Amino acid sequence: MSNTPTPHIGAKYGEIAPIVIMAGDPLRAKFMAERYLENPVLFNTVRNMFGYTGTYKGKPVSVMGHGMGIPSIAIYTYELYNFYGVKTIVRIGSAGAYHKDLKIGDLVLAMGACTDSNYAAQYELPGTFAPIADYGLLKKCVDTCEELGYRYMVGNVMSADIFYSDHPQADKWMKMGVLAVEMEAAALYMNAARSGNKAMALFTISDHILTGEETTAEERQTTFTKMMDVALSLV
């Protein structure tokens, strides 16, 4: 295609699989490619946002980083959906727990994604858009968690624009039953909806807003493998 490579992805059309599993940290994508994929081939190093295509149990799949925050994931997923023919994007990442029953290492499957971002304003909708996951992907994730015996919860997450907030308002989202906070899912779900494609986001709890528990950067990069197992069940 004449639109590829893009300004942010160095691959040619056809070098990226129809399903892409994405992580905020490009080193997590690298770890996943080396751990799970058969014959992974590096297709992107632009801005060190590593992307690999290989096979998993004989089926083509790509894994790639997407960076931090809605602007970053929005650019990469827009290009993947609209220029590379990608049909399904699955985000795996870490999240901070809001719900009292969540523990470090638990999985959260994002049925929907609230946000304080202005990303949806571009669509000029006459109301508020509710970004949601693809139901088929969500159901498969639930089935896999049940089969593997992984602890999980399903519900809303909060895709926050601000990490270091001058006025933290986690308590207000907690009152509405939001399970956890992260920074990207809402834009992924909106890009999927606008392009007529599929998306799913699932998270490992890395810290807890209520208890103050937290994990290290190295633990988040290399030990959060349960969500990778679940994501790969979608291939």
Render pLDDT for 24-68 as a digit per residue (tens, 0 to 9).
999 999 999 999 999 999 999 999 999 999 999 999 999 999 999
97 DSSP 8-state letter: E
Q: Could you tell me which residues are beta bridge partners of residue 150?
A: none
Question: How confident is the model at residue 19, as a pLDDT?
Answer: 98
Question: How confident is the model at residue 215, as a pLDDT?
Answer: 87
Q: What is the pTM of this model?
A: 0.96
Question: How confident is the model at residue 146, as a pLDDT?
Answer: 98
Question: How confident is the model at residue 127, as a pLDDT?
Answer: 98
Contacts of 209 (CB under 8 A, 6+ apart): 96, 97, 98, 170, 181
Catalytic residue check, 171? no
Looking at every residue in the chain, the average pLDDT score rounds to: 96
Tens of pLDDT along the chain (235 residues) come to: 579 999 999 999 999 999 999 999 999 999 999 999 999 999 999 999 999 999 999 999 999 999 999 999 999 999 999 999 999 999 999 999 999 999 999 999 999 999 999 999 999 999 999 999 999 999 999 999 999 999 999 999 999 999 999 999 999 999 999 999 999 999 999 999 999 999 999 999 999 999 999 988 887 777 799 999 999 999 9
Question: How confident is the model at residue 1, as a pLDDT?
Answer: 53
Q: What SS3 state is found at 16?
A: coil
Question: How confident is the model at residue 217, as a pLDDT?
Answer: 82
From 116, 161, 207, 229, the catalytic residue: 207
Helices and strands per DSSP (H, E), number in the chain: 7, 9
Place of tokens 């590593």: 50
What domains appear along the chain, each with residue ranges and CATH number? 19-232 (3.40.50.1580)
How far apart CA 77 and CA 141 sit, in angstroms, is 21
